[in-house]
Structure 1
Amino acid sequence: MAVNLKSTSARDALKPRRNPYFHCLRIGLYVGYRRADEGTGTWIARRLKEGTKSYEFRSLGTLSGYEEAVRLTEAWAGAVDMGITHKAITVDEVCNTWVTHKKTENSKASAADVEGRFNRLVHGKPIGAMPLDKLRTNHLREWLVAQLNEDGDEDDMRRSKNTANRNLAAVKAALNLALKDRLILTDAGWKTVTPYPKASKRRTGDLTSPERAVLLAHCDIQLAALVRTLLLTALRPGEIANANVGDLNKEQGTLTLTGKTGRRLVTLSTTAIEFLKIQAQNKLPSAPLLTDSFGNRWNKDSWKKRFKNAVKAAKLPDEVVMYTLRHVAISEMIAGGVDTFLVARLAGTSTTMIDKHYGHLRHIQTRARLDAVEMI
């Protein structure tokens, strides 16, 4: 007996039962619908095994309607006809296969890198447990967005996008290998998910000395103190915001910081020491070294809008954010001839990161010194 599954009203009129109602698409291929007692029903595909009188089935789950069920049924049947497995391979399994492939075809370090990414972001996560043939573009996009640092400033966001792009590249490589191995018929579930643009843009210190002076002139007293400190130290904004008066050693000229890299001790320039001594005057050791206009410790929410207004008033590019000041200071150190290792230590980062983002300045400086030498 023919069953109408095309409309929602027709499906709702069916009597709930355990066995699905099937509609024949063509000889040997059916799309089925299991009517639930309550809630939305589920879809199932049925195919007559070639050369037999028995059927094989494929659960399609909850879908948008009849048209999607027909499309997935046809895709499944087509994949079987082409010799593509219809076993419920998960993203987890695909990623494991890719790691094995990397160990065989590439270096151990490369394999260890992607394995670490999968351990952090795929294995044990919803995206990892998802059957490959049910992976949709929105699933991968949601996974990508979840990796972004939305609590940070613009530079934090850029860096998190850069990292997310590398993670996406690793997962898409694993998925593409599955496509090549005929574990799935199409790459429609991930092909259109693209990396974030301009996420790996090299950091530069793009504020000239006159521009810095104009910026400081448009800051109130407390904000100017924060801006000046960052320009004098190349510290992260959060590190100086966390600093207490007691963290400043006036005799040794050092500052103990607590932040992204844990606790560390940095040496200050004479100018920075004298400036911070003034900020620490008449304050208890446990008090914040720098405060906002209300005497409270600085945080991202209290400086972000005020700094943006100062940038606008100074007619500087919108891309200038608080984190830019750290990049300006690092650039000036490198251009001034300070050793890369020392700059990395003061800034609380690695020499690799310094070379990657500021190495061009070191080359300019070296070239200037070479040009000053009479070779011939």
Structure 2
Amino acid sequence: MASPINSKSAREKLKPRREPYWSRIQTGLYVGYRKPEEGDGTWIARRRADDGKQQYHALGTFADYDQAVKAATQWANALDAGVSAKGMTVKQACKHYVSHLSLHKGKASASDAEGRFRRLVDDAPLGRIDLAKLRTSDLTAWLSKQVELDEDDAEDEEDLRRAKDSANRNLASLKAALNLAMKDRLVATDAGWKTVSKFRDVGRRRNAFLPLHQRTALVEACPEDLQRLVKAMLLTAARPGELANANAQHFDRDQGTLALEGKTGYRVVTLSTAAMAFFDECAKNKIGNAPILATDFGQRWNKDMWKKPFREAAKTAKLPTTAVLYSLRHTAISEMIADGMDSFIVAKLAGTSTAMIDEHYGHLRHDKTRARLDAVALL
């Protein structure tokens, strides 16, 4: 006997009701069609478990009967393979992964992943999606949203590159969580995320290095207040935001140090003799919480204030179009490494890791070492 739901015309003749119209696929396995008062109908699968209890699974909407049968069969086969019959959301999969990390990798790894998921998954629409219904487009949209920077809010290519690099790390953590869910048979397939690719060429070595003649031209092209910020970056290799946050009280004349606080926390950096003289001049007639570097109007610097003046100065100095304020930090680190400073010391001064120094500036150390090797008669 023909099923009342195996053709579109047959389904259209059905009376709307909450209870699905069922069609047997094979022994113990059925696919059902729920006819609503209006709109598209939905499909559901049903099977009898080994313990005799009925198991149900919402399949969603399909254009035809055969697609619903295929989905129901895949669900049943996944259960036979050991996949959990209970649905799991992306958020729950992330919690499952954090527990796994805590047990096998330690608290630090678990805390890092937990923080990413709390910021980007837990309260996002993505977090509420059932793993079995997760689509590639859901994950792609989630990834793209992380780099939706307004052009005026990004430090040109450098900000966008860093945003993409960060998004790649977030994607790696999420895919690790989803892959663990599949490994632990909490979902039948990885089709929803397997083909989602990370952003390419965003972890590459920085290339906006400014040689001495360009640095000199830039300083001369800057208005006096921006000139002080530019010089401070070149003398310390600090991030611009860290210098903008620094107060007069953070400069210790006796010790020759400057306390900075930013994305990597609080640190006290040693200043060169030239830097000590520079900050001593900047701190004149300033006390307490007064910004040690300020605009001509006495305001604390921020990205919106330095962006346009820097672009104009860079254009006047005929710098490469890739040059941004952050390029000065890269330039200072490059010069320190090229001059033979130990990467551990440079990392402490710049507020970064030795791994980052070796990854992005190691080539400079090799060049320096090669020059020294060339001076040694080995053969």
SS at match of 1:264: strand
Aligned residue type for 1:119: E
Q: Could you say what the CA RMSD is over the residues aligned between the two structures, in angstroms? A: 4.1
SS at match of 2:63: helix
Which consecutive unaligned segments of at least 5 residues does structure 1 have? none
SS at match of 1:289: coil
| CA offsets 1:202-248 (integer angstroms, 9 cap, x no match) | 23562111222222233222212211110111111011111222322
Aligned residue type for 1:120: G
The answer for the alignment partner of 2:139 in structure 1 is 140
285 and 128 in structure 1: CA distance in 2 versus 1, 3 angstrom threshold? closer
8 A Cα contact 2:310 2:324, kept in partner: yes
TM normalised by structure 2 equals 0.76
SS at match of 2:238: coil
SS at match of 2:233: helix
Alignment of 1:172-191 (within 5 A): 172-176=175-179, 184-191=187-194
| CA offsets 1:124-170 (integer angstroms, 9 cap, x no match) | 82555642202122432344356569576454553443343234234
The answer for the alignment partner of 1:288 in structure 2 is 291
| CA offsets 1:295-351 (integer angstroms, 9 cap, x no match) | 311001111232233333434333322111111101111111222232222212233
Percent of residue pairs identical:
43
| Distance of 1:48 and 1:287 partners within structure 2 | 72
Alignment of 1:296-335 (within 5 A): 296-335=299-338
Following superposition, the deviation at residue 45 of structure 1 comes to 0.9
The answer for the alignment partner of 2:74 in structure 1 is 78
Aligned residue type for 1:32: R
113 and 44 in structure 1: CA distance in 2 versus 1, 3 angstrom threshold? farther
8 A Cα contact 1:46 1:55, kept in partner: no
8 A Cα contact 1:3 1:22, kept in partner: yes
The answer for the alignment partner of 1:166 in structure 2 is 169
| Distance of 2:239 and 2:291 partners within structure 1 | 16
Partner residue of 1:270 out of 270, 273, 278: 273
8 A Cα contact 1:230 1:237, kept in partner: yes
The answer for the alignment partner of 1:57 in structure 2 is 56
SS at match of 2:230: helix
Stretch of structure 1 that moved more, 137-146 or 94-103? 94-103
320 and 46 in structure 1: CA distance in 2 versus 1, 3 angstrom threshold? same
Aligned residue type for 1:59: A
TM normalised by structure 1 equals 0.76
Aligned residue type for 1:348: G
8 A Cα contact 2:33 2:41, kept in partner: no
The answer for the alignment partner of 1:371 in structure 2 is 374
| Distance of 1:72 and 1:283 partners within structure 2 | 74
8 A Cα contact 2:59 2:72, kept in partner: no
The answer for the alignment partner of 1:125 in structure 2 is 122
- The reply to whether residue 199 of structure 1 matches residue 196 of structure 2 is no
SS at match of 2:56: strand
Residue-pair matches, total: 360
Alignment of 1:227-242 (within 5 A): 227-242=230-245
The answer for the alignment partner of 1:87 in structure 2 is 85
8 A Cα contact 2:49 2:55, kept in partner: no
- The reply to whether residue 342 of structure 1 matches residue 345 of structure 2 is yes
Which consecutive unaligned segments of at least 5 residues does structure 2 have? none
